[in-house]
Amino acid sequence: MRAYAKHYHLESPCYSVYAPLYDVVVSRALRKPRRVALGQVDWEPGMRVLLVGAGTGLDLHFLPHELEIHLTDLTPAMVKRARARAERYQRDVSCRVMDATTLEYPDEHFDVVVMHLILAVMPNPELGLAEAYRVLKPGGQLCVMDKFQPDAQAAGLSRRTLNVLTSFLATDITRQATPLLQQAGFRIRHDEPVLMNGLFRALLAAK
């Protein structure tokens, strides 16, 4: 079984059941953070873009037109809903079931990689970032929006205790964005708090 599916069982029936509820739970609360994060990207017509762990495709609403868009998620039910969303928006989007740690794309293939709400749920986010780095062209942009521990301090006792609870929801809130991205080889260009007093941050990095 694939890497983070093995840990969090993202291909189990419960995630297929969760897929129809995902939009209701996530859409409105994270509308502004998505818009802010994607607004940091230096878009140009004709760019080839990859959405990794894209869920039901909620980012599609905020993407400019005239892009070549590829979308992946590990859960087939999520990809099915993302494909339907793309059709409703009349967007030509390639939607595929795929593991973020073993992307089935060639090296230096994309101008932009978007990773929203995935790094906090991966057992080994370093593997996902390594793949993002691999498939990005030199100078390509990585757009990240997720839950992170502040870079200036390690997680305290209360944060670690809360993380025990959030881990049951497949979410780690003790990870620090800057070390993760820099260790993967990225240069951070923008870093902005977008929700819940900075728990959610939007970062733009370059290869």
> What beta strand segments (E) does 5-108 contain?
48-52, 68-73, 93-97
> Are 86 and 95 in contact, with CB atoms under 8 Å apart?
yes
One digit per residue, pLDDT tens: the chain, 207 residues? 333 443 333 444 445 555 666 677 677 889 999 999 999 999 999 999 999 999 999 999 999 999 999 999 999 999 999 999 999 999 999 999 999 999 999 999 999 999 999 999 898 999 999 999 999 999 999 999 999 988 776 644 444 444 434 444 456 778 999 999 999 999 999 999 999 888 999 999 999
Give CATH for domain 3-206: 3.40.50.150
Residue 66 pLDDT: 96
- Nearest-angstrom CA–CA distance, 108 and 12: 32
Q: What is the pLDDT of residue 9?
A: 38
The pair of structure tokens assigned to 129 is: 């970032």
Q: For helices 13-26 and 76-88, give the axis angle rounded to 10 degrees.
A: 40
Domain boundaries, the chain: 3-206
pTM (2 decimals)? 0.86
**Tokens 């070390």 sit at which residue?**
179
User: CB of 173 within 8 A of CB of 143?
Assistant: no
Q: Which residues, 6+ apart, have CB-to-CB distance to 169 below 8 Å? A: none
Asked if 140 contacts 167 with a C-beta cutoff of 8 angstroms, the reply is no
